[in-house]
């Protein structure tokens, strides 16, 4: 469903850039350190794959220690937005009230889109229809992301 308003990709890139860039840099530093020590490309491959497998094993078993535990890891368990919002509240990223409000806004938006599809209409609504909800989401986004 689209809202008649300009889509901005900057917040998306900012969020993923902030999350992925440090991970990429640390992983690259680890791989380079292994290569410098081992002086073997194949040993580097083996240790890199072993480290990834071991990390996945510990995460699957719930045995990650504090230095590897990333609070946001839980949000990738679910593919639905509502449970991801609940996990963000559990991780302390969102307040529980904010999470509940965002989940309710998502439900209303989703229900509106479903009704439009059932009526055989396009899932395009006027921007004024969800103006209050958009303002609330924008306020949370700006406060949490400091944009």
CA 32 – CA 55 distance, rounded (Å): 18
Query: In this structure, are 20 and 60 located in the same domain?
Result: yes
Query: In this structure, are 49 and 90 located in the same domain?
Result: no
What confidence score (pLDDT) does residue 125 get? 85
Report pLDDT digits (tens) over 59-69. 777 666 545 55
Query: In this structure, are 46 and 83 located in the same domain?
Result: no
Report pLDDT digits (tens) over 3-26. 555 667 777 777 777 777 777 788
Query: In this structure, are 78 and 143 located in the same domain?
Result: yes
4 vs 127: which has the higher pLDDT: 127
| Residue-range definition of the domain harbouring residue 108 | 70-147
Query: In this structure, are 133 and 99 located in the same domain?
Result: yes
Q: At 128, which CATH number?
A: 1.20.120.330
Question: For the chain, how many structural domains are there in total?
Answer: 2
Query: In this structure, are 81 and 145 located in the same domain?
Result: yes
pTM: 0.53
Report pLDDT digits (tens) over 97-122. 999 999 999 999 999 999 999 999 98
Answer yes or no: is pLDDT of 76 > 70.
no
What confidence score (pLDDT) does residue 7 get? 65
């Amino acid at each position: 469903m689209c809202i008649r308003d300009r889509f901005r990709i900057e917040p998306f890139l900012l969020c993923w850039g902030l999350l992925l860039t440090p991970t990429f840099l640390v992983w690259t530093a680890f791989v380079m350190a292994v290569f410098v020590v081992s002086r073997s490309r194949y040993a580097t491959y083996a240790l890199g794959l072993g480290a990834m497998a071991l990390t996945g094993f510990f995460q699957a078993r719930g045995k990650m220690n504090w230095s590897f535990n990333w609070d946001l890891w839980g949000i990738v368990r679910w593919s639905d937005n509502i449970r991801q919002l609940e996990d963000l509240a559990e991780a302390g990223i969102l307040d529980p009230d904010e999470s509940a409000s965002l989940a309710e806004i998502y439900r209303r938006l989703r229900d509106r889109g479903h009704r439009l599809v059932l009526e055989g209409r396009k899932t395009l609504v006027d921007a004024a229809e969800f103006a209050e909800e958009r303002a609330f989401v924008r306020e949370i986004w700006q406060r949490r992301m400091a944009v």
